[in-house]
Chains A and B, each alone.
Chain A
Amino acid sequence: MSGPSFRYIRAARLDDALSQGARQGATYLAGGADLLPLWKAGLAAPTEVIDISRLPLSQVSYAGDALAVGALARLSDVSAHPVVKRHHPMIAEAILASASGQVRNLATIGGNLLQRTRCTYFRTDGLACNKRDPGSGCGARRGESRHAALFGGSVGCVATHASDLAVALAALDAEISCRGLTGERRLALQDLYPLPGATTAPDTSLADGEMITAVHIDGAARFAAQSTYLKVRDRASFEFAVVSVAAALRIERGVIAEARLAAGGVAPLPWRLGRSEAALIGRAPTGEAFALAGELAVEGATPLAGNAFKVPLLHNAVIRALQTVGEGS
Chain B
Amino acid sequence: MNPDTTALPLADEKHLPMPRIALSMTINGARYDIETASTATLLDVIRDQLGLTGTKKGCDMGGCGACTVLVEGRRIASCLALAASFSDAVLTTIEGIGTADRLHPLQAAFIRHDALQCGYCTPGQILSGIALLSENPRSFEEIREGMSGNLCRCGAYPGIVAAIAEVAGL
Which residues of A come within 8 Å of B, CB atoms?
1-8, 10, 29, 31-33, 36-37, 39-40, 47, 49, 51, 53, 76, 99-103, 105-106, 236-238
**A237/B39 in contact, CB under 8 A:** no
| Chain B interface extent, by class | 35 or more
**B76/A105 in contact, CB under 8 A:** yes
A7: min CB distance to chain B, Å: 5
- Chain B 44-59 per-residue mask, 1 if CB under 8 angstroms from chain A, else 0: 0000000000000000
Q: Is B97 an interface residue when CB atoms closer than 8 A count as contact?
A: no
**A100/B148 in contact, CB under 8 A:** yes
A233: min CB distance to chain B, Å: 11
Among B75, B82, B84, B87, contact of A102 (Cβ-Cβ < 8 Å): B75
**A5/B18 in contact, CB under 8 A:** yes
Residues in B neighbouring A32, C-beta threshold 8 A: 80-82, 85
Among A40, A53, A238, contact of B61 (Cβ-Cβ < 8 Å): A40
Give me 15 other A-B pairs in contact (C-beta within 8 A), A8-B19, A102-B62, A238-B63 excluded: A2-B1, A2-B39, A3-B39, A5-B19, A8-B21, A8-B82, A10-B85, A36-B41, A37-B62, A100-B148, A101-B128, A101-B132, A102-B77, A103-B77, A105-B75
Contact A106:B81 (CB < 8 A) given known A1-B60, A36-B41, A101-B132: yes
- Bound-complex Cα distance A32 to B40 (A): 12
Residues in B neighbouring A5, C-beta threshold 8 A: 1, 16-19, 37-39
- Bound-complex Cα distance A76 to B65 (A): 17
Residues in A neighbouring B62, C-beta threshold 8 A: 33, 36-37, 102-103
Residues in A neighbouring B81, C-beta threshold 8 A: 32, 36, 106
Residues in B neighbouring A99, C-beta threshold 8 A: 149
Q: List 9 A-B contacts (CB under 8 A).
A: A5-B18, A39-B39, A49-B82, A100-B77, A100-B150, A102-B65, A103-B80, A105-B71, A105-B74
**B85/A29 in contact, CB under 8 A:** yes
- Chain B 144-167 per-residue mask, 1 if CB under 8 angstroms from chain A, else 0: 111011100000000000000000
**B38/A6 in contact, CB under 8 A:** yes
Residues in A neighbouring B75, C-beta threshold 8 A: 101-102, 105
**B128/A102 in contact, CB under 8 A:** yes
Most B Cβ at <10 Å: residue of A5, A31, A76, A236 = A5
- Bound-complex Cα distance A191 to B41 (A): 34
Among A39, A40, A76, contact of B74 (Cβ-Cβ < 8 Å): A76
A198: min CB distance to chain B, Å: 32
Q: Is B79 an interface residue when CB atoms closer than 8 A count as contact?
A: yes
**B149/A103 in contact, CB under 8 A:** yes
- Bound-complex Cα distance A105 to B132 (A): 12
- Bound-complex Cα distance A177 to B77 (A): 29
Residues in A neighbouring B145, C-beta threshold 8 A: 236-237
Interface of B is mostly: mixed
Among B79, B132, B148, contact of A238 (Cβ-Cβ < 8 Å): B148
Q: Is B102 an interface residue when CB atoms closer than 8 A count as contact?
A: no
- Bound-complex Cα distance A220 to B41 (A): 40
Q: Is B68 an interface residue when CB atoms closer than 8 A count as contact?
A: yes
A321: min CB distance to chain B, Å: 20
- Chain B 63-100 per-residue mask, 1 if CB under 8 angstroms from chain A, else 0: 10100100100111101111011010000000000000
Q: Is B131 an interface residue when CB atoms closer than 8 A count as contact?
A: yes
**B82/A51 in contact, CB under 8 A:** yes
Residues in A neighbouring B19, C-beta threshold 8 A: 5-8
B129: min CB distance to chain A, Å: 11
B71: min CB distance to chain A, Å: 8
Residues in B neighbouring A236, C-beta threshold 8 A: 144-145, 148
Within 8 A of A (CB), among B125-148: 128, 131-132, 135, 144-146, 148
Contact A101:B131 (CB < 8 A) given known A5-B1, A37-B61, A237-B148: yes
Chain B: CB-nearest residue to A239 = B148
Residues in B neighbouring A102, C-beta threshold 8 A: 62, 65, 68, 75-77, 80, 128, 149
Most B Cβ at <10 Å: residue of A6, A10, A29, A36 = A36
Residues in B neighbouring A1, C-beta threshold 8 A: 60
- Bound-complex Cα distance A100 to B132 (A): 11
Chain A: CB-nearest residue to B148 = A237
B66: min CB distance to chain A, Å: 10
